[in-house]
Amino acid sequence: MAQRDDPTRPLFMISIAAELAAMHPQTLRLYERRGLVQPRRSAKNTRLYSQADVDRLQRIQELTELGLNLAGVERVLALEAQVAAMSDEVAHLETRLARAADELRAAVRAAERSTRRDLVPVSHMAVVRVGKRRR
């Protein structure tokens, strides 16, 4: 991915990020203290926000507008992150399962090719009776 297209690349100072998220800069500082966002710092210790940070700020705003307090927002964001991680894991496991199923089908085909299913000639043999025949 090109660096310019990276949504985690820090680009915006706090005033620009606040404007993009339609919030007051002090709100961004509060969210940072609460651990809801973690902007990077420049060499001069200036907060720098990425597009992903701005998107997260907008999500926080949506949740607070729904009536959640910051503790609720923290919990929802944690659960959303957990769901995303689990979705990634499910996709990974589905890929592994499909690969294993393909390998198993190939092994079954190979086993079927290795065993012949035609008739085997049998020489005439004498039939030998063992024991008494019951009526």
- Residue 133's alpha-carbon distances to 32, 45, 49, 126, 130, in angstroms, are 94, 102, 95, 17, 8
121 within some domain? no
Phi, psi values for residue 40, rounded to 5°: -80, 170
Residues 61 and 95 in one domain: no
Q: DSSP letter string over 52-90?
A: HHHHHHHHHHHHHHTT--HHHHHHHHHHHHHHHHHHHHH
pLDDT at 85: 97
Residues 90 and 46 in one domain: no
58 within some domain? yes
Total domains, the chain: 2
pLDDT digits (tens, 9 = 90+) for 33-48: 999 999 999 899 999 9
pLDDT at 135: 62
- DSSP three-state, residue 45: coil
pLDDT digits (tens, 9 = 90+) for 72-91: 999 999 999 999 999 999 99
- DSSP three-state, residue 12: strand
Q: Is the pLDDT assigned to residue 27 strictly greater than 80? A: yes
pLDDT at 39: 94
Q: Is the pLDDT assigned to residue 67 strictly greater than 50? A: yes
Residue type at 24? Answer: H
Determine the Cα–Cα distance for residues 110 and 46; give it in Å rounded to an integer: 64
pLDDT at 126: 65
pLDDT at 6: 87
- Residue 129's alpha-carbon distances to 123, 126, 132, 133, in angstroms, are 18, 10, 8, 8
Residues 37 and 92 in one domain: no
Whether residue 32 contacts residue 39, with contact meaning beta carbons closer than 8 Å, is answered with yes
34 within some domain? yes
Domain that holds residue 84: 69-108
Residues 45 and 57 in one domain: yes
131 within some domain? no
pLDDT digits (tens, 9 = 90+) for 84-129: 999 999 999 999 999 999 999 999 988 888 876 666 666 776 666 6
- DSSP three-state, residue 40: strand
